[in-house]
Structure 1
């Protein structure tokens, strides 16, 4: 079974990985910038010190001689020399260190690994001077990067602290958002489970997030459609069962009233023929008449159960027979059939459904439309599509009423079972037009 990760875990993991990558790249850039800044600052301080020494010597009247003991303390006290280590090499070879002005930068001492990453080879210069006693001395000036490194460490700590705070805020914000999002998702999932179990009255509330609100409205609409469809199907099932029971009751009544009585009469007349005084010719004529009636009744019952002509002669002949049957019973209604011979090649399961659809439409027209004309038009729109159109000039109805009738509901379900599409156009006193497109593949 495939392991699935929660959305919260995946997003937090990506935030952590992104933060680590940012830390790595940010650290590399920060160290590079700090190293460059320290080097630039030290070079600048060293060059400035060299220029100050040269300018000071050129201004002396003795041209190169200077009272070092008086000048050097003033030079060391300058702000620009705070990054410098100054040593004086006397003629005797002794080295005297002069401490530069101390400038506290930070109470935090940078770690050794940071100092090693930032520090480069400290530059130094050596200046040959002559003191007031005309003795040669050497002034050694070397850059001391510790102050600059401390500043860089402080800035780096501030940078990484800011990044940490931003990452923490991002985590908190994302998780707060996820709490709200996952709560909404949980409500939606619970509603879908309820709908799956048949509770179509379960409605989702309005959400403050536009996307979730759109999903909620779509699910609520789906639930309403499913509820309406479920009620229609339940009503249609009850109606179908009622029709089935009515048909069985009608069939039993026909068998009892027609077949039972006729067979009883035949049996009585057959028994009478045993009597020598019986009029055999008259009895035979009566039996023939009763049998003819039975044949008519049986054919009518068979037509109602299943038209044999549909199997034997095809759809077109069955529709013609159906229209002739209704025309004989209702001569005031003019029925027209437009149907090509090619419909006889349609698959049988489609043929029987089309026949029942036309039969149901004619029944509705005769019972409710009060029409004087009706047309049934079948057309092979292509080799893969059958087009059916049934029109009448009756009183029509509203579209709302078309959703209540079991006849039209049954027609809609038959066409839906074939994968087709149904369209109904009607209005008060405007007749009705039913069109259906049925795929043949």
Structure 2
């Protein structure tokens, strides 16, 4: 804008000075005689010696003095010897004031002087744009002052309007500070401006989502802690159950050993003594012989009972033969005790290198399944299958099925405790137990145990 105004003033002053100079030249040329008229007048004056002589320079000086100063031009009169005879007076318009030199250099036109020849001298016309430049400077200064005041008022108005318009930003910044401090209950009000109202609604939705997410995360974290605590408790219970089973088997082994070593030997000694008494030929008393024979029979029965108890407490085949042979002996024992029941056994080779705890667990699971099938299921056929399942980890699968009456809604107390014992034993080693049963369609137990192979 400043460039356009200064350029406009420069062009305006240039046109004004140029027009003033042309007017001054036309004015002076209109009163000056042409060179032909001057020559004719000179010859006439020379022939008429009686005519009074006139001085053209004096007449011109008088005329210029009467005209005075021509605005925007300085007029000077010189004689033939270039002596200054007349100079127009200085302008009284804004006398004593001048525009700054830099402004004058920007807008002052580069008009050239014009010299008009006259008889016995010349007139020099010098364009003077100082007053026009001063007028332009005053106008621009006033305009600049008005523009400055207007701009300041505009800034104040914009500041006030923006301050009022952006007042919701304080609420938004305060709300964001609350969010930063962890207060997700903060909400923004509705605003008149649609932009701020949209921000408010979006902010409220965001805080609501964050609040719900935090509540959900807290709930999930609490559930995860509870799950971890439950898993830890379950793992501790498994280890405790396993430890109980190990200690129980140790106690059973110790009791079986004591029964075999102490009571078994005593019963054997009693049987031997009774046999010796009953075998005496010289003893003629039948009553004594019969009593001795009764002692032998009772001792034999006690011996069989003790050995049955020993087998129940600790199967000796596990210690001497291995898992395969121990299971085979167990099935053979049940076949002998229950000849009316068909028991089939299917097992794979390589089942003798397991950990002792796994061996006794497998043995007890099969033993409990056979006991339940015999006592509660009223089955006529039992299938026992042991198989290894490759993978990571390698699994031993125990499958025992019968054709009995199946599991009904109310399970017998002993049967229920047997099932719980099976689950505890298997789960104590990180295994899994699954029952498949329908009333009247038999029962199938499927147990999987992770293998922990011991040394061969």
Task: Give the TM-score normalised by structure 2.
Answer: 0.50
Question: Are 1:47 and 2:24 matched, yes or no?
Answer: no
Q: Deviations over 1:233-259 (max 9, x none)?
A: 9xx99xx9xx99xx9xx99xx99xx98
Assess if the C-alpha contact under 8 Å between 1:58 and 1:64 holds in 2. no
Alignment partner, residue 405 of structure 2: 395
Matched-pair contact (CA < 8 Å) for 1:372–1:393: yes
8 Å CA contact 1:334–1:373 kept in 2: the answer is yes
Aligned residue in 1 for 2:317:
309
- Computing the radius of gyration from Cα coordinates, the structure with the larger value is 2
For 1:330 and 1:276, the matched residues in 2 are separated by: 41
Q: Partners in 2 of 1:400 and 1:60 — Cα distance?
A: 125
Match of 1:72 in 2: none
Task: Judge conservation of contact 1:402–1:408 (CA < 8 Å) in 2.
Answer: no
**Alignment length, in residue pairs?**
307
Do the aligned residues in 2 keep the contact of 1:314 with 1:344 (CA within 8 Å)?
Answer: yes
Alpha carbons 1:399, 1:426 under 8 Å: kept: no
- Of 423, 432, 455, the residue aligned with 1:412 is 423
Alignment of 1:328-407 (within 5 A): 328-382=336-390, 384-397=394-407, 405-407=416-418
SS of 2:5's partner is: helix
**Per-residue CA distance 1:249-278 (angstroms, 9 max, x = gap):** x99xx99xx9899699779969989x9985
Q: Distance in 2 between matches of 1:327 and 1:382?
A: 31
Helix, strand or coil for the counterpart of 2:327?
helix
**Hey, what does 2:107 align to over in structure 1?**
127
Whether 1:151 and 2:151 are equivalent positions in the alignment is no
Shift of 1:313: 0.9
Query: Residues 399 and 427 of structure 1 are in contact (CA less than 8 Å); yes or no, is this contact kept in structure 2?
Result: no
Which structure 2 segments of 5+ residues have no match? 22-92, 111-126, 187-210
Report the equivalent of 1:167: 173
Aligned-partner Cα distance in 2 for 1:362–1:264: 35
Matches within 5 A, 1:29-428: 45-54=1-10, 56-57=12-13, 60=16, 63=19, 92=96, 94=98, 126-128=106-108, 134-137=128-131, 138=133, 151=155, 154=159, 165-173=171-179, 175=181, 177-178=183-184, 211-212=216-217, 215=220, 218=223, 278=283, 282=289, 288-382=296-390, 384-397=394-407, 405-428=416-439
Evaluate the alpha carbon distance shift between residue 306 and residue 279 of structure 1 in structure 2; reply closer, same or farther with a 3 A threshold.
Answer: farther
Superposed CA deviations along residues 185-222 of structure 1, whole A, max 9, x for unmatched, are: xxxxxxxxxxxxxxxxxxxxxx9667258638956995
RMSD of equivalent CA atoms: 5.8
Segments of structure 1 that go 5 or more residues without pairing to the other structure are 1-44, 66-88, 97-122, 181-206
Task: Give TM-score, length-normalised by structure 1.
Answer: 0.51
Cα offset, 1:172, TM superposition: 2.7
Are the aligned partners of 1:393 and 1:430 in contact in 2 as well (CA < 8 Å)? Answer: yes
Instruction: Summarize the Cα distance change of 1:58–1:394 in structure 2 as closer, same or farther, 3 Å threshold.
Output: farther
Is the contact made by 2:10 and 2:109 (CA closer than 8 Å) also made in structure 1? no
Residue 398 of structure 1, CA deviation: 6.4
